[in-house]
Amino acid sequence: MKLLEERILRDGIVKSSEILKVDSFINHQIDPVLLKEMAGEWKRLYSDCQVDKILTIEASGIGVACFTALAFGVPALFAKKVRTANLSGDVYTARVQSFTAGREYDIMVARQYLHEGEHILIIDDFLARGAAMRGLVSLCGQAGAIVEGAGVCIEKAFQNGGNDLRAEGLRIEALAKIESMSVENGIKFC
Amino acid sequence: MKLLEERILRDGIVKSSEILKVDSFINHQIDPVLLKEMAGEWKRLYSDCQVDKILTIEASGIGVACFTALAFGVPALFAKKVRTANLSGDVYTARVQSFTAGREYDIMVARQYLHEGEHILIIDDFLARGAAMRGLVSLCGQAGAIVEGAGVCIEKAFQNGGNDLRAEGLRIEALAKIESMSVENGIKFC
């Protein structure tokens, strides 16, 4: 998506060959017009699919998931991050290994909001090694929900999470796909 | 706001005289149409004010803040909750006492996204004792930003945070104001 790529080139900050900061327009400060445009793009890309609900993960996925939910005319649901395993039986949970934060955490959704046979589109801001995405897919699997696909704003393709997940059969629509990046040479899109 | 009050009566769950669950449409699962309507209402209520940025707090404020930002045509900024005091000098921070969670935490925003003289509208899902709201007002004060007012979806008026903050001069527009509630007798709006 040209609009997003141009914005990343203009306002994104490459901190290292692995870390891209987009917190001036996606992650901390949010440009709602850009998010709405991205939502419209997923609506177009997934127009051939039944989508009953948008699933995302707190916190930075929530904004873009809300606009996508509005575009599809369905509810959004965000998985919560919990630090304890002390959860009631009324939730689905998955363990996620965060490489950025260097720790593991659990994510959860209440069982009553994810149903068997429900068609789910997963939305998130970043896809890198795919750990959070695998957690969200796992929550859907536990519920017997059907994952139609995923939409991510930015895929760091060189970290292979997307390729691995596609090889396992997950459809992923990344609106900006980064082939490589470095502080010296900037960003190269796929 | 009649639409929100009706929705609370229909789908909200009174867990005790202090706790109202709205996680089927605001807090966990999100109804984007309702959030957009609420955003439009704040746009109407604050039409006499200059608003340069929407400030909220993760996680459940983000969705409604994004729609409000779109309605005003300005960016949204969400304060992050951090568990450590180990922060760099590039952020404004405030300590928040959470009564629901029974603990204290710090919130932060990057200094580069909150500026002196910037006109801020604070948006959040709940206002109870006002601890989070005071934290957000403090962040604005540290930056020299001007708080035009606050918009909250639901004010638990019986917990007095709103009244205290109004007495201190903060304009607050609550779209549903609960006078009292109980498991036996349900919800009474102001």
CB contact under 8 A, B23 and A78: no
CB contact under 8 A, A78 and B66: no
Work out the pLDDT band at A89, boundaries 50, 70, 90.
low
Q: Is the pLDDT confidence value at A86 over 60?
A: no
- How many whole angstroms from its chain centre is CA A40? 16
Number of Cβ pairs closer than 8 Å across A and B?
94
Amino acid at B72: F
Site from B62, B82, B87, B123 to mutate, A interface, most A CB atoms within 10 angstroms: B62
The percentage of residues in chain B with a pLDDT greater than 90, rounded to a whole number, is: 91
- For residues A11-25, average pLDDT: 95
Phi-psi region of B149 (alpha: psi -120 to 50; beta: other; left: phi over 0): left
CB contact under 8 A, B32 and A63: no
pTM: 0.96
Nearest to A76 among B30, B109, B113 (CB): B30
The whole-chain average pLDDT of chain A stands at: 95
Chain B environment of A113 (Cβ under 8 Å):
23-24, 28-29
Q: Rounded distance, CA A35 to CA A41, Å? A: 10
Could you read off the pLDDT of A27-75 as tens digits, one per residue?
999 999 999 999 999 999 999 999 999 999 999 999 999 999 999 999 9
Q: Rounded distance, CA A144 to CA A118, Å? A: 8
0.85 surpassed by complex ipTM: yes
In terms of Cβ atoms closer than 10 Å to its own Cβ (0-12, 13-18, 19+), residue B38 is: buried
The percentage of residues in chain A with a pLDDT greater than 70, rounded to a whole number, is: 95
Could you read off the pLDDT of A92-132 as tens digits, one per residue?
999 998 876 678 899 999 999 999 999 999 999 999 999 99
Q: Is the pLDDT confidence value at A84 over 60?
A: no
What single string gives the DSSP state of each residue in B39-93?
Answer: HHHHHHHTTTS---EEEEETTTTHHHHHHHHHHHTS-EEEEEEES-S---TTEEE
Instruction: Give the count of alpha carbons within 13 A of A21, CB side only.
Output: 10
Q: Kindly state the DSSP code that residue B140 receives in the 8-state scheme.
A: H
Q: Is the pLDDT confidence value at A167 over 90?
A: yes
- Name the E strands within chain A: 13-14, 20-21, 29-30, 53-57, 76-82, 91-98, 103-110, 119-127, 146-156, 172-182, 186-189
- For residues A156-173, average pLDDT: 97
Q: Report the chain A residue with the minimal C-alpha distance to residue B29.
A: A77
CB contact under 8 A, A77 and B113: no
Q: Does A9 touch chain B (CB under 8 A)?
A: no
In terms of Cβ atoms closer than 10 Å to its own Cβ (0-12, 13-18, 19+), residue B81 is: middle
Could you read off the pLDDT of B12-27 as tens digits, one per residue?
999 999 999 999 999 9
CB contact under 8 A, B75 and A36: no
- For residues B47-51, average pLDDT: 97
Q: Rounded distance, CA B53 to CA B27, Å? A: 22
Tell me which of A20-29, A75-84, B67-76 is least confident.
A75-84
Could you read off the pLDDT of B76-133 as tens digits, one per residue?
999 999 855 455 669 999 999 887 667 899 999 999 999 999 999 999 999 999 999 9
Tell me how far CA of residue B93 lies from CA of A24, A169, B82, in angstroms.
Answer: 18, 44, 9
Q: Rounded distance, CA A175 to CA A6, Å? A: 12
What does the pLDDT read at residue A98? 80
Q: Report the chain A residue with the minimal C-alpha distance to residue B58.
A: A59
What does the pLDDT read at residue B87? 54
- For residues B173-184, average pLDDT: 98
Work out the pLDDT band at B160, boundaries 50, 70, 90.
very high
- How many whole angstroms from its chain centre is CA A133? 7
Q: Does B92 touch chain A (CB under 8 A)?
A: no
Nearest to B32 among A31, A69, A78 (CB): A69
